[in-house]
Amino acid sequence: MTTSDFAAYIAGLPRILAGAAALLRDAEGRVLLVEPNYRDGWGLPGGTVESDDGESPRQGARRETAEEIGLDVEVGRLLAVDWVQGPGRPPLVAYLYDGGVLGAGDLAAIRLQEEELLSWRLVPRAELDAYLPAALARRVHAALDVLDGRGAGAAELENGHPVG
């Protein structure tokens, strides 16, 4: 296979997006959510992995968290990976990492990326479904289950639903 044949082969492969986020909590176990200004609802600090630049999902979660809320957190273990199909866009593989527990000093140091975010808040687990889109809420609940010791390793999901 020539170089141009290989390039044509690669160009013809399906495209899949990758996203990564950090699950950040406070000492009470509440989850840090952010409110974007470009769509309704809430989400987690995170975004698209810049794979064209060689960025890994773990690196993307850390970069996006630093950009969006001004905290450079050491991203911990993978909690969930979710295959997300949605109308009008390519499939997305969403990686969710443990961002750890934020102390009072961390919370006071949050600085929002004004170009993308309106606000942030800490939300108890019991109220997450009222803030998050259904598939993301299921992903966050699955990740919290992993942190609580329910499940061996990361949760594998499809549109937020457990696989297997």
Show me where the domains of the chain are located.
16-162
**Residue 92 host element (H or E):** strand 92-102
CATH placement of domain 16-162: 3.90.79.10
Average pLDDT over residues 68-82: 97
3-class DSSP assignment, residue 157 = strand
Q: Are 43 and 134 in contact (CB under 8 A)?
A: no
From the CB of residue 2, how many other CB atoms can be counted at a distance below 10 Å?
7
Confidence at 11, pLDDT banded by 50, 70, 90? confident
Confidence at 83, pLDDT banded by 50, 70, 90? very high
Task: Determine if the pTM surpasses 0.85.
Answer: yes
Average pLDDT over residues 15-21: 93
**Per-residue model confidence as pLDDT tens digits over 105-138:** 999 999 999 999 999 999 999 999 999 999 999 9
According to the model, what pLDDT value does residue 8 have? 79
Is the confidence at residue 9, as pLDDT, over 90? no
Q: Which pair of structure tokens corresponds to residue 131? A: 């803030």
